[in-house]
Structure 1
Amino acid sequence: MIESISKASAVSGTKATESFSSLFEAPAATLEGTGATALNGETFMSALGNVAMQAANNLKRGEEVSFDGLTGKANTREVVDAVMQAEQSLQTAIAFRDKIVNAYLEITKMQI
Protein backbone atom coordinates (compact mmCIF):
# COMPACT_ATOMS: atom_id res chain seq x y z
CA MET A 1 0.00 0.00 0.00
CA ILE A 2 2.69 2.52 1.00
CA GLU A 3 5.07 1.33 -1.72
CA SER A 4 2.87 3.01 -4.35
CA ILE A 5 3.61 6.37 -2.69
CA SER A 6 7.34 5.71 -2.99
CA LYS A 7 6.93 5.06 -6.71
CA ALA A 8 5.79 8.66 -7.12
CA SER A 9 9.42 9.70 -6.67
CA ALA A 10 10.20 7.99 -9.98
CA VAL A 11 8.40 10.85 -11.71
CA SER A 12 11.24 13.18 -10.76
CA GLY A 13 13.34 11.62 -13.53
CA THR A 14 11.10 12.93 -16.31
CA LYS A 15 12.08 15.85 -18.51
CA ALA A 16 9.07 17.91 -17.43
CA THR A 17 10.08 17.98 -13.79
CA GLU A 18 13.74 18.52 -14.69
CA SER A 19 12.83 21.72 -16.49
CA PHE A 20 10.47 22.64 -13.66
CA SER A 21 13.13 22.04 -11.03
CA SER A 22 15.57 24.27 -12.91
CA LEU A 23 13.23 27.18 -12.19
CA PHE A 24 13.86 26.80 -8.47
CA GLU A 25 17.57 26.04 -8.61
CA ALA A 26 19.42 29.33 -8.71
CA PRO A 27 23.22 29.50 -8.62
CA ALA A 28 24.79 31.09 -5.57
CA ALA A 29 25.97 34.09 -7.60
CA THR A 30 22.38 34.89 -8.56
CA LEU A 31 21.25 34.64 -4.97
CA GLU A 32 24.01 36.95 -3.75
CA GLY A 33 22.92 39.77 -6.04
CA THR A 34 19.31 39.63 -4.87
CA GLY A 35 20.07 39.55 -1.17
CA ALA A 36 18.47 36.10 -0.81
CA THR A 37 20.42 33.32 0.82
CA ALA A 38 20.29 29.60 0.19
CA LEU A 39 20.14 27.43 3.29
CA ASN A 40 22.79 24.71 3.01
CA GLY A 41 22.41 24.74 -0.79
CA GLU A 42 18.98 23.11 -0.54
CA THR A 43 16.61 23.84 -3.40
CA PHE A 44 12.83 24.11 -3.29
CA MET A 45 12.44 20.82 -5.15
CA SER A 46 14.78 18.96 -2.80
CA ALA A 47 12.94 20.37 0.22
CA LEU A 48 9.61 19.17 -1.17
CA GLY A 49 11.18 15.80 -1.95
CA ASN A 50 12.44 15.51 1.62
CA VAL A 51 9.00 16.34 3.01
CA ALA A 52 7.40 13.74 0.73
CA MET A 53 9.90 11.06 1.73
CA GLN A 54 9.44 11.84 5.42
CA ALA A 55 5.65 11.61 5.04
CA ALA A 56 5.97 8.27 3.22
CA ASN A 57 8.29 6.97 5.95
CA ASN A 58 5.82 8.06 8.65
CA LEU A 59 2.99 6.28 6.84
CA LYS A 60 5.09 3.14 6.44
CA ARG A 61 6.09 3.21 10.11
CA GLY A 62 2.47 3.63 11.16
CA GLU A 63 1.51 0.63 9.07
CA GLU A 64 4.34 -1.50 10.49
CA VAL A 65 3.55 -0.58 14.10
CA SER A 66 -0.14 -1.32 13.46
CA PHE A 67 0.75 -4.82 12.31
CA ASP A 68 3.06 -5.20 15.33
CA GLY A 69 0.18 -4.18 17.57
CA LEU A 70 -2.06 -6.81 16.00
CA THR A 71 0.51 -9.52 16.62
CA GLY A 72 1.19 -8.33 20.17
CA LYS A 73 4.72 -7.01 19.55
CA ALA A 74 3.78 -3.37 20.26
CA ASN A 75 1.63 -1.88 22.99
CA THR A 76 -1.44 0.25 22.35
CA ARG A 77 0.30 3.54 23.11
CA GLU A 78 2.98 2.94 20.45
CA VAL A 79 0.33 2.02 17.89
CA VAL A 80 -1.75 5.12 18.62
CA ASP A 81 1.30 7.41 18.48
CA ALA A 82 2.50 5.96 15.18
CA VAL A 83 -0.95 6.07 13.58
CA MET A 84 -1.57 9.65 14.75
CA GLN A 85 1.80 10.75 13.38
CA ALA A 86 1.05 9.02 10.07
CA GLU A 87 -2.35 10.71 9.91
CA GLN A 88 -0.80 14.11 10.59
CA SER A 89 1.82 13.52 7.88
CA LEU A 90 -0.88 12.52 5.40
CA GLN A 91 -2.96 15.61 6.18
CA THR A 92 0.12 17.81 5.77
CA ALA A 93 0.96 16.20 2.42
CA ILE A 94 -2.62 16.71 1.23
CA ALA A 95 -2.51 20.37 2.30
CA PHE A 96 0.77 20.85 0.37
CA ARG A 97 -0.74 19.19 -2.69
CA ASP A 98 -3.82 21.40 -2.54
CA LYS A 99 -1.72 24.58 -2.23
CA ILE A 100 0.51 23.57 -5.15
CA VAL A 101 -2.49 22.74 -7.35
CA ASN A 102 -4.15 26.05 -6.45
CA ALA A 103 -0.96 27.96 -7.25
CA TYR A 104 -0.67 26.17 -10.59
CA LEU A 105 -4.28 26.99 -11.44
CA GLU A 106 -3.72 30.65 -10.55
CA ILE A 107 -0.63 30.77 -12.77
CA THR A 108 -2.53 29.26 -15.69
CA LYS A 109 -5.23 31.93 -15.32
CA MET A 110 -2.69 34.76 -15.70
CA GLN A 111 -2.67 36.64 -18.95
CA ILE A 112 0.62 36.86 -20.76
Structure 2
Amino acid sequence: MMDALNSISALRGAGATASTGATAAASGVRATGATGFADMLADISGQAVGSLQGAEAAAITGLQGKASVQHVVQTIMAAETTLQTALAVRDKVVAAYQEISRMAI
Protein backbone atom coordinates (compact mmCIF):
# COMPACT_ATOMS: atom_id res chain seq x y z
CA MET A 1 0.00 0.00 0.00
CA MET A 2 2.81 2.38 0.89
CA ASP A 3 4.48 1.63 -2.45
CA ALA A 4 1.27 2.52 -4.28
CA LEU A 5 0.94 5.78 -2.35
CA ASN A 6 4.59 6.64 -2.99
CA SER A 7 4.16 5.90 -6.71
CA ILE A 8 1.27 8.38 -6.90
CA SER A 9 3.48 11.02 -5.31
CA ALA A 10 6.28 10.14 -7.73
CA LEU A 11 3.95 10.48 -10.71
CA ARG A 12 3.01 13.95 -9.57
CA GLY A 13 6.67 14.92 -9.45
CA ALA A 14 7.36 13.38 -12.87
CA GLY A 15 4.37 15.10 -14.41
CA ALA A 16 5.44 18.45 -13.03
CA THR A 17 8.84 18.22 -14.74
CA ALA A 18 7.61 16.71 -18.00
CA SER A 19 6.66 19.90 -19.81
CA THR A 20 7.73 23.37 -18.81
CA GLY A 21 5.24 25.14 -21.08
CA ALA A 22 2.24 23.38 -19.58
CA THR A 23 3.65 23.89 -16.11
CA ALA A 24 4.11 27.60 -16.69
CA ALA A 25 0.57 27.94 -18.02
CA ALA A 26 -0.86 25.88 -15.18
CA SER A 27 1.13 27.72 -12.55
CA GLY A 28 -0.92 30.84 -13.20
CA VAL A 29 -4.06 28.86 -12.44
CA ARG A 30 -2.53 27.18 -9.40
CA ALA A 31 -1.35 30.49 -8.02
CA THR A 32 -4.97 31.52 -7.60
CA GLY A 33 -5.68 28.48 -5.42
CA ALA A 34 -7.12 26.01 -7.94
CA THR A 35 -5.41 22.64 -8.11
CA GLY A 36 -5.93 19.61 -10.28
CA PHE A 37 -7.42 16.32 -9.22
CA ALA A 38 -4.07 14.53 -9.62
CA ASP A 39 -2.35 17.13 -7.43
CA MET A 40 -5.02 16.71 -4.77
CA LEU A 41 -4.67 12.92 -4.78
CA ALA A 42 -0.89 13.18 -4.65
CA ASP A 43 -1.03 15.56 -1.69
CA ILE A 44 -3.47 13.34 0.17
CA SER A 45 -1.39 10.23 -0.50
CA GLY A 46 1.73 12.06 0.69
CA GLN A 47 -0.05 13.01 3.90
CA ALA A 48 -1.20 9.40 4.36
CA VAL A 49 2.34 8.12 3.92
CA GLY A 50 3.58 10.73 6.42
CA SER A 51 0.95 9.64 8.94
CA LEU A 52 1.92 5.98 8.57
CA GLN A 53 5.61 6.79 8.89
CA GLY A 54 4.89 8.92 11.97
CA ALA A 55 3.01 6.02 13.57
CA GLU A 56 5.89 3.69 12.81
CA ALA A 57 8.35 6.13 14.39
CA ALA A 58 6.09 6.53 17.44
CA ALA A 59 5.89 2.76 17.83
CA ILE A 60 9.67 2.47 17.69
CA THR A 61 10.16 5.22 20.27
CA GLY A 62 7.51 3.56 22.42
CA LEU A 63 9.39 0.28 22.29
CA GLN A 64 12.54 2.11 23.30
CA GLY A 65 10.70 3.61 26.27
CA LYS A 66 11.03 7.19 25.04
CA ALA A 67 7.30 7.77 24.39
CA SER A 68 4.22 7.24 26.51
CA VAL A 69 1.84 4.41 25.76
CA GLN A 70 -0.99 6.90 25.30
CA HIS A 71 0.95 8.82 22.62
CA VAL A 72 1.84 5.61 20.78
CA VAL A 73 -1.75 4.34 20.82
CA GLN A 74 -3.17 7.69 19.66
CA THR A 75 -0.67 7.91 16.82
CA ILE A 76 -1.29 4.35 15.68
CA MET A 77 -5.07 4.79 15.85
CA ALA A 78 -4.80 7.95 13.73
CA ALA A 79 -2.64 6.10 11.21
CA GLU A 80 -5.14 3.23 11.12
CA THR A 81 -7.96 5.67 10.38
CA THR A 82 -5.85 7.23 7.63
CA LEU A 83 -5.13 3.83 6.11
CA GLN A 84 -8.81 2.83 6.22
CA THR A 85 -9.74 6.10 4.51
CA ALA A 86 -7.09 5.58 1.83
CA LEU A 87 -8.38 2.07 1.18
CA ALA A 88 -11.97 3.33 0.94
CA VAL A 89 -10.95 6.02 -1.55
CA ARG A 90 -9.00 3.45 -3.57
CA ASP A 91 -12.02 1.14 -3.65
CA LYS A 92 -14.27 3.98 -4.84
CA VAL A 93 -11.80 4.95 -7.57
CA VAL A 94 -11.54 1.35 -8.77
CA ALA A 95 -15.34 0.98 -8.76
CA ALA A 96 -15.71 4.22 -10.74
CA TYR A 97 -13.09 3.09 -13.25
CA GLN A 98 -14.84 -0.25 -13.70
CA GLU A 99 -18.19 1.46 -14.24
CA ILE A 100 -16.70 3.82 -16.79
CA SER A 101 -15.05 0.92 -18.63
CA ARG A 102 -18.44 -0.84 -18.86
CA MET A 103 -20.12 2.17 -20.49
CA ALA A 104 -21.14 1.76 -24.11
CA ILE A 105 -19.62 4.29 -26.45
Greater relative contact order: 1 or 2 (C-alpha under 8 angstroms, separation 6 or more)?
2
Q: Which of 79, 87, 94 is equivalent to 1:101?
A: 94
Q: Which of 35, 39, 42 is equivalent to 1:42?
A: 35
Query: Structure 2: which amino acid aligns with 1:85?
Result: A
The residue that corresponds to 2:19 in the other structure is none
Q: Which of 81, 85, 88 is equivalent to 1:92?
A: 85
User: How far apart are 1:5 and its partner, in Å?
Assistant: 5.1
Deviations 1:26-47 (A, max 9, x none): x96xxxxxxxxxx811111111
Give the percent of matched residue pairs that are identical in Structure 1 and Structure 2.
38
TM-score by length of 2: 0.75
Q: Which of 69, 73, 80 is equivalent to 1:80?
A: 73
TM-score by length of 1: 0.70
Q: How does 1:41-80 map to 2 (within 5 A)?
A: 41-80=34-73
> Where has structure 1 moved over 2 Å in runs of 4 or more?
4-7, 9-14
Q: Which has the higher helix share?
A: 2
Q: Mind listing any 5+ residue stretches in structure 1 that lack a counterpart?
A: 15-24, 29-38
User: How far apart are 1:6 and its partner, in Å?
Assistant: 5.6
Deviations 1:57-106 (A, max 9, x none): 00000000000000001000100011001000000000010000000000
Q: Mind listing any 5+ residue stretches in structure 2 that lack a counterpart?
A: 16-25
Q: How does 1:12-51 map to 2 (within 5 A)?
A: 12=12, 13=14, 40-51=33-44
How many residue pairs match? The answer is 90
